[in-house]
Structure formats: structure tokens, C-alpha cells
Structure 1
Amino acid sequence: MIKPLHCYFLSVCLCLCACEQSPPQRADERMVYTVTRVLDGDSLLARANNQEIEIRLFGIDAPELKQTYSQQARSAAERLLNHQSIYVEAIDRDRYGRVVAIVHVVGHEPAVNIQLVEQGAAWVYRRYTDDKALIEKERSARQAGRGLWSLPQEQRIPPWEWRQRNRN
């Protein structure tokens, strides 16, 4: 009696393995996407093969939409990304399902993430990265007073602090 039960159990396990769902779709760094929309200073929508994905730029945090300098940050991202062909280095997925990535415009370097920090359109998000090159670009933008670094100190609230203050 034990032997047929083992065979049945093994058969069920094999069937379950064969029917296993395919892994969740993610950005493929070898695939070229077209930016369809810039949502804000650090996120965008891109399309490839009739599939649209939302991308959150890795390692940076731009002002929130209701925050001072948000429109300028979004405009900076639009100038770099709008309708451009891009490829992504997917790092992770965030809790909202967005692909967290380093984004490159095809034929242009450095990465968009770095360019936005260099222009003063975003902060380095040190909670998620300690990338020395990115931190150096932020230091340089701050010293030169570029972008958000030209604002008075009281208006330069990092987005993570702004979100914390405005949670309720």
C-alpha cells in the first residue's frame, strides 16, 4: 500500500512542477525600450514588444510632485528621456511593482540617474546606494549651486523627509 501512495505523491509533485507559473516579467537589460511618459523626476513608463513597464530610477530621489522644485526635476527628466530609446540595468522591484533600474539612453552616457544628480534635479538616495560616483556628482552640484541646490536651505527638503512629514 505504501508503494502506490509514494508513486501517486511523486506523480502529483511532477505535475505541479510542470505546471509552475513562469517567472514574473521584468525589464531585460538587453532589450531596447521606448520611453512613453516621464511621470516625475525619478520614474517613467517605457514600452517594448507591446509591454509597458514602470521604471523607478535607482539610487536617486527627486522632489515629490507637490514639493518645491518638482516641476523642474520632472522637466529635467523629460529633456533626457522623452520618447528616447533606452536600455535598463534592472536592480530590483519596489513594493509598488516598479522595476528599479539604472537607465541609459541608447548612444549616450553617463546613465540618466547620474545626469539628473549632476544637474541638481535629484538627491542621491543613500538609503539604497553608497555609489561613490553618484555621491561625488551630488557634492559637485551642491558646491556649484546647480538645480535644487540653488534654492534657499528651508526649501531644500529631501523627498524622504518631505514624505515623512506629509504622511497623514
Structure 2
Amino acid sequence: MARWSRSQVEAAATDAGSLAAARRLARPGPWSGCGANDTLLWGRCQGSGATPYQVSVDLTTPAWRCSCPSRRFPCKHALALLLLWSDGALEPGGALETGDAPAEVAEWSARRAARAAQPTSAPPDPAAQAARLEKRLALMDAGIEELALWLTDLVRTGLGAARSRPTGWWDQIGARMVDAQLPG
């Protein structure tokens, strides 16, 4: 796989904050166990904790995985590893190993490949969809009829009497309309 340019790495960032943090981490110091093959990039980045974060990047899709608690994808660690690789800072003889990926990186890549190879689900059956829609419409029509009867009874007994009804009385019709799958 061809090495990414710095602009390609920057385009992968989801926000400016992650990219700025990645630029600060894009130096060999906090990195160890870095490696690359034709499709994967991996390494460990020492953060503030005792154990370094495990970072993996699939260069073909692209996809990333990191053991850090960040909810951003890619996180600053994945971006920093990509920046180091794109700048050539992890060359063989330096911090970069070539060849086989560590077991956890290979397993992650294999799981991704297996998911991609699975056939997509079949499209829904139009006859079954039509039957479900017909059943729902019948349920909604019955709910409307029940509401019309309830409103008629409400007017017949007098709107003034409705003010003295407890809240639960009003909630009952609302619950029946929810059961009838009537929105709003």
C-alpha cells in the first residue's frame, strides 16, 4: 500500500482538536512496538496511564482501533501514528518493524475481513411488509373509532364535568391511543 500524504492523514481527522493533539504526539518518543505491513499499521503509545495504548490502523478501508477511552474515531493516537508513518519517522531500523502484525492486530483485521465477507441481508419481503402495514392501519383505524366514541361520550356528559376528572382518567385514553400505534 502506498504511503499516505500528510494531507490525506489530516483529511481523516474528524475535528481540529484531535488533529492538533495528534501533531503533539507525532514524535517517536512515546511510541514503541510500531510496525507496518501492506495493509496495517500498529504501535503502542505511552499515555498518562501505566500501560500504553494499543493502536491499529487498517490502511485499505481505512479503519482504526485504539485502547484509549476517546469517543472520537480516529482518535489522536491513530492520527499521530498515521502522521509518523506518512512523514517517514518510523522507518525500518528506527522504531518501525515490518512483517507480521502482533496477534491482537491480526485478529482485529481478520474479524473485519470476515464481517466484510458476510453477505448482506436479503431485502424485506414485499408481501410481508404489505401485511404488516395492513395490520397496523387496521389497528390505527380501531384506535380512531375508539377515540371518536370517547370524545362523543365526553361531550354528551358535558365538558364542565371533564374538569373534575382525575389525571388517570385522561391518561387511560392516551394509553389506548399508544396501544393503537397512533402518533402524537
TM-score, normalised relative to structure 1? 0.25
Structure in which a larger fraction of residues adopt helix: 2
Structure in which a larger fraction of residues adopt strand: 1
| Structure index of larger Rg | 2
